[in-house]
Structure 1
Amino acid sequence: KTVTLTLSTAVSHGQSVTVAYADPTTGNDANAIQDTAGNDAASFAATEVSNNTPDTTPPQLIITGDTTRPKVSGDQLVLRFSDTGNLDADRAHTPANGAFTVLVNGVANAVTHVT
């Protein structure tokens, strides 16, 4: 009654998932989904799947690696996070400027804009 497919990579919360199945031959064979009488299940086209994977892992600041660690260029400090595909891009959900504390040579340098 149940066929469980193990995927090569885990599916994340919010990702769109579909599944399709192709019966390998037109006749009855052991390499198909079958009932106990040997009748093959029919092929089916891409079908939307409910993704019930909860996203319970918060993004983490990446502090290692030359290309991913925080960097300053002029007046911009760029922070990179894990789970970037799931970072909320809604501008209404941008952290307040005051949520960050930046010190330059031990002196506060105020954040004036967050994107």
Structure 2
Amino acid sequence: DANAIQDAAGNDAASFAATAVTNNTPAPADTTPPQLIITGDSRPKVTGNQLVLSFSDTGNLDADAGHKPANGAFTVLVNGVANAVTNVTVGAQAKTVTLTLTTAVTSDQTVTVA
């Protein structure tokens, strides 16, 4: 039979019953970037010298040290004056980025981050 699966000698493959198939099709690529959460309980928060940014994303954040944002990638102003970031920590599963600031923030100060 010319329409059958055959070996090089022309022997037709026998019919076979329904067989489970392993699906190796990769999941679609993640093309949606993480978004900073700016409202609700997960909005940016500062306690002392720790400023925590929370992100929404369908997956975990990338915690690979080689991909970690540089300290200088962030601008933090406290009452309009720069407060340098000395360390950046990525919480992959929590989807947080914690910035360690040079100077602790007090309760009466206004803080912005970019």
Whether these two folds match at TM > 0.5 is yes
Query: Percent identity of the aligned residues?
Result: 74
The alignment's TM-score, normalised by the length of structure 2, stands at 0.57
Q: Are positions 1:58 and 2:30 aligned together?
A: no
Deviation, structure 1 residue 57:
0.5
Gaps of 5+ in 1: 1-39
Aligned amino acid, residue 60 of structure 1: Q
Q: Which has the higher strand share?
A: 2
Deviation, structure 1 residue 63:
0.5
Q: What is the alpha-carbon root mean square deviation over aligned residues?
A: 2.1
For residues 2-46 of structure 1, the C-alpha deviation after alignment (integer angstroms, 9 at most, x for no partner) is: xxxxxxxxxxxxxxxxxxxxxxxxxxxxxxxxxxxxxx73456xx
Helix, strand or coil at the partner of 1:79: strand
Gaps of 5+ in 2: 1-16, 90-114
- 1:98 is aligned, of 72, 80, 88, to 72
Deviation, structure 1 residue 55:
1.1
Helix, strand or coil at the partner of 2:46: strand
Deviation, structure 1 residue 78:
0.3
Q: Are positions 1:41 and 2:18 aligned together?
A: yes
Q: What residue is the counterpart of 1:69 in the other structure?
A: 43
Q: Distance in 1 between matches of 2:30 and 2:39?
A: 24
Aligned residues: 74
